[in-house]
Amino acid sequence: MNEYDSSRIFDLVKTIGFDKTDIKKNADCYILNTCHIRDKAKEKVYHEIGRIKKEFKNTIKPLIIVAGCVAQAESEEMLKREPYIDMVIGPQSYHKINDQILNYFRDNKKINDTEFDVISKFDKLAKIKNNSNKISSYLTIQEGCDKFCHFCVVPYTRGPEFSRPFYQILNEAKELISNGVKEITLLGQNVNAYKFFSDDKKNEYDLADLIMELEKIKNLKRIRFTTSHPKDMNEKLINCYNNSTKLMPFLHLPVQSGSDKILKSMNRKHNIQFYENILKKLKNINPEIEISSDFIIGYPGETDEDFNKTLKLVKKFSFINSYSFIFSPRPGTPASNLKQIDYKIAHQRLKIIQNELFEIQIERNKALEGYELEVLVENKIKDQKKFFGRIPKMTPVIINSSSCNPGEIIKVKIVSSNQNSLFGEHIIAKTKAA
């Protein structure tokens, strides 16, 4: 979502004359769009500011703006801890960035704008063209969360669940497609909780409606969505994996733990039986579908037995491309007050689970060697006769080709693989001799 937000922040500041630069020293302004989900992400922001300080030691200081969830959570604290920062602006206030930049230059005073103003944010953004022309682009449809998992800061930093108007999303999708975008990933912290009522309250639209409406747009080739909560995976949405030809057979569905005891303590609102039933229904609808997941390791109270249940779940479902993290206590969340488990033990468990996940990934990728797969070409790799693309199940492919174009779906013969990627040759269809 930060990638989408950063791209929209750029669309905004472009209208008051800013442009992007790759040459760091030339920047008049730095906007650091930040993540607060784990402590490491927060500390990265301060390290980056340290680097900028060094870079500009003997020259005029650039304007430093911190946006995103760290800005939201730390707000005034951040301005005090790092006086080099000129402005903090939260994820629900960034539509006001131009006014705030002008205010800063007029009054020469530090700015803290961390209000929750989600409705006017999307109303304002709807008037600013989305210039993204990446073959695969993100589109935020829902923000915030009402689920309050005990480990998570999102409900505090992004605020309550909010779904954008149905037709506003379709308009932005059409704008992206007219820019050349071929794949859209619908975004939300709880994307499958998307629900929008028409003004007269007669019509209710959900994520499945949105997918089936996007399906009708001719030049759009692929649809994805992320991140989903198991509790909101309803039958109508599951059926889209059968009804839509453009929805890709891949779903990221975070489970967090294989232990019902831990899921309860996390306030996840689902148990393993419930989660497994969803996977079964998905496989029944489309046996091709692949699942990836998120795992939190070393959550307070996690015993060897709980951890082994997570390991068992990983082995049973052979997840692809999963993410696993050591529990990071986030200030203000209920889990931060619980007794933490020994870091060494958590670290050992993380290693074990990652070894298992990586082995599965390696095996799954190896099994694709020799096959001809459809790949959406996203971009040319700089200074090489190679292109980057993805198969429907999301795995990245490095393609040897002298004649393909970004935006095309081509056939690629997979010749080798590693843990993260496939490598293949572009198969050029032979035309019959006249």
In the complex, the residues that contact ligand SF4 under the rule CB under 6 A are: 145, 147-149, 152, 154-155, 189-190, 229
Report the distance separating Cα 348 and Cα 161, nearest Å: 36
Find which of ligand SAM, ligand SF4, none residue 37 binds, CB within 5 to 8 Å per kind. Answer: ligand SAM
Query: Which of helix, strand or coil describes residue 255?
Result: coil
- The residue (of 254 and 406) whose beta carbon lies closer to ligand SF4 is 254
128-157: contacts with ligand SAM (CB under 6 A): 151-152, 154
- The residue (of 147 and 366) whose beta carbon lies closer to ligand SAM is 147
HEC profile of 290-333: EEECEEEECCCCCCHHHHHHHHHHHHHHCCCCCEEEECCCCCCC
312-351: contacts with ligand SAM (CB under 6 A): 325, 327-328, 330
- The residue (of 144 and 406) whose beta carbon lies closer to ligand SF4 is 144
- The residue (of 112 and 293) whose beta carbon lies closer to ligand SF4 is 293
Long-range contacts of 412-417 (CB under 8 A, 24+ apart): 412/372, 412/373, 412/374, 412/375, 413/370, 413/371, 413/372, 414/368, 414/369, 414/370, 414/371, 414/372, 414/373, 415/369, 416/369, 417/362, 417/365, 417/366, 417/368, 417/369
Least distance in angstroms from the C-beta of 79 to ligand SAM: 25
Q: Note whether 388 binds ligand SAM by CB under 6 A.
A: no
Q: Note whether 270 binds ligand SAM by CB under 6 A.
A: no
What is the C-alpha radius of gyration for the chain, rounded to an integer number of angstroms? 23
Contact indicator for 399, 364 with CB cutoff of 8 Å: no
Least distance in angstroms from the C-beta of 194 to ligand SAM: 13
* Cα 252-257-259 angle, rounded to 5 deg: 140
Q: Note whether 229 binds ligand SAM by CB under 6 A.
A: yes
DSSP 327-353: --PPTTSGGGGSPPPPHHHHHHHHHHH
Burial 329-352 (b: 16+ CB within 10 A, else e): ebeebebbebeebeeeebeebbeb
Q: Note whether 189 binds ligand SAM by CB under 6 A.
A: yes
Q: Note whether 406 binds ligand SAM by CB under 6 A.
A: no
Query: Which of helix, strand or coil describes residue 243?
Result: helix
Least distance in angstroms from the C-beta of 227 to ligand SAM: 4
Least distance in angstroms from the C-beta of 32 to ligand SAM: 19
Q: Note whether 267 binds ligand SAM by CB under 6 A.
A: no
Q: Note whether 8 binds ligand SAM by CB under 6 A.
A: no
Q: Note whether 38 binds ligand SAM by CB under 6 A.
A: yes
Least distance in angstroms from the C-beta of 394 to ligand SAM: 17
Q: Note whether 237 binds ligand SAM by CB under 6 A.
A: no
Contact indicator for 1, 187 with CB cutoff of 8 Å: yes
The residue within the footprint of ligand SAM, chosen from 91, 254, 407, 424 (CB under 6 A), is 254
What residue ranges bind ligand SAM (CB under 6 A)? Answer: 37-38, 151-152, 154, 189-190, 227, 229, 254, 256, 294, 296, 325, 327-328, 330
